[in-house]
Amino acid sequence: MSAEQGTVKNASPREGRRAEFAVFLILAVLIWPFVAVAFVGGYGFLVWMWQIIVGPPGPPPG
pLDDT digits (tens, 9 = 90+) for 1-44: 555 555 556 668 888 889 999 999 999 998 999 999 999 999 99
In a domain, 45, yes or no: yes
Residue 1 pLDDT: 52
By residue range, what is the domain housing residue 22? Answer: 18-53
Residue 22 pLDDT: 92
pTM: predicted TM-score of the whole model, two decimal places: 0.58
15 CB contacts (<8 Å, ≥6 apart)? 8
In a domain, 2, yes or no: no
Domain count, the chain: 1
In a domain, 38, yes or no: yes
Residue 61 pLDDT: 75
Pairwise CA distance, residues 8 & 17, whole Å: 12
Using pLDDT thresholds of 50, 70 and 90, give the confidence band for residue 55.
confident
